[in-house]
Amino acid sequence: MPLPGGAARRVSERLPVFPWDRLEPYKATALGHPDGIVDLSVGTPVDPVPRAVQEALAAAADSPGYPTVWGTPALRDALVGWAERRLGATGLTHRHVLPLVGSKELVASLPTQLGLGPGDRVAYPRLAYPTYEVGARLARADHVVYQDPWELDPAGLKLLWLNSPSNPTGRVLGVAELRRAVDWARAHGVLVVSDECYLELGWETEPVSVLHPDVSGGDTTGLVAVHSLSKRSNLAGYRSAFLVGDPAVLGELLEVRKHSGLIVPAPVQAATVAALADTAHVAEQRSRYAARREALRGALESCGFRIEHSEASLYLWATRDEPCWDTVAELAKHGVLVAPGEFYGEAGRNYVRVAFTATDERVRAAVRRLA
């Protein structure tokens, strides 16, 4: 049954047009290429789920009862252990971790789960994943973009999003920048939530978590990090992610999520434990991405593109100093689909984001066409 017209209008007024819907005409052009489309517009994994993860999922398939929002003790152990090993975080307990049904649901609903509303402000980078804005809009909070967070007006600011490595640019914030942002936020009583979903995909530098002692001072107060297994382990289809950080904040979110029924399925919880215990598949996947990145970067640069930032993540931030939609249209004629930088903010209007998550065969096809 459709919503009454008034309610439908209210929803459309609160949210922007879904960005990828605007790509459909260009996708149709790219699909018309004799050798088929090379879709580099979305960073969705195409490589196999690691065998050990598949086996763990299958072994837990007979799970007729309701799982818990907080996850099994084995899952919490795995999250704590990984965060200590990989992020360098110290002094963690089960109260410092919380599983998520994928990271996007958290980004889109966090302001609401925190109880933010009209008059509260949410800040995020001027080039950023569109869902940060969506989350603020859904809570009816105000949203503001920044170049440097410490230059923000702190009045009414309740939530500061950091994103390193960045989507879309691949930019990595160094320890000094992260520490300055954390110190500023703590001085003004602002919660810092750091989206670190690409942290294990550094190419030209080693990304650092906001929870690393060099940044946090060994204290999680006022800090939360968001992590995902979609990229590192090809688990986008499993919807497995998690938070690490301030137990006071996570405790409040746990209560909200219990009431909301935001529960990671039991087989996915078991698969997550297996994924976090294994580093071999992460190294193997990194090797695949590194080769694709090198091939696409060389091809783009050979036909006049300039690559900026891109020192980490799954994307190349590319420009020919022309309007992004002109670039999208030209590449679509060659069967290559990329994302216009305008999707990520006005500052991206002359850039495109090129994902290197296509198969080796499709990447080779793109390289031939760009040449």
**pLDDT of 3 above 80:** no
Q: Does the structure show a pLDDT above 80 at 10?
A: no
Place of tokens 């979609």: 230
CB 150 within 8 A of CB 123: no
Reported pTM: 0.95
pLDDT tens per residue, range 147-188? 999 999 999 999 999 999 999 999 999 999 999 999 999 999
Give the mean model confidence (pLDDT) for residues 244-250.
98
The rounded distance, in Å, linking the Cα atoms of 301 and 104 is 32
Amino acid identity, position 260? S
Let me know if domain 5-48+281-370 sits in CATH 3.90.1150.10.
yes
Strands 352-355 and 339-340: antiparallel
For 166, the token pair is 């960045």
Q: Running DSSP on this structure, what letter comes out for residue 285?
A: H
Provide CATH 3.90.1150.10 ranges for the chain: 5-48+281-370
Which CATH architecture best describes the domain 53-277?
A: 3-Layer(aba) Sandwich (3.40)
Residue intervals of the chain classified under CATH 3.40.640.10 are 53-277
Cβ proximity of 199 and 215 under 8 Å: no
Task: Dump pLDDT digits (tens) for 203-220.
Answer: 999 999 999 999 999 999
DSSP E strand stretches across 126-174 = 142-146, 157-163
Report DSSP state, residue 169.
T
Looking at residue 317, what is its pLDDT? 98
Alpha-carbon 332 to chain mean position:
25
| pLDDT above 90: percentage of residues in the chain | 94
The DSSP bridge partners found for residue 276 are none
Averaged pLDDT, 30-37:
97
Full DSSP string of 178-244: HHHHHHHHHHTT-EEEEE-TTTT-BSSS----TTSHHHHTT--TTEEEEEESTTTSS-GGGT-EEEE
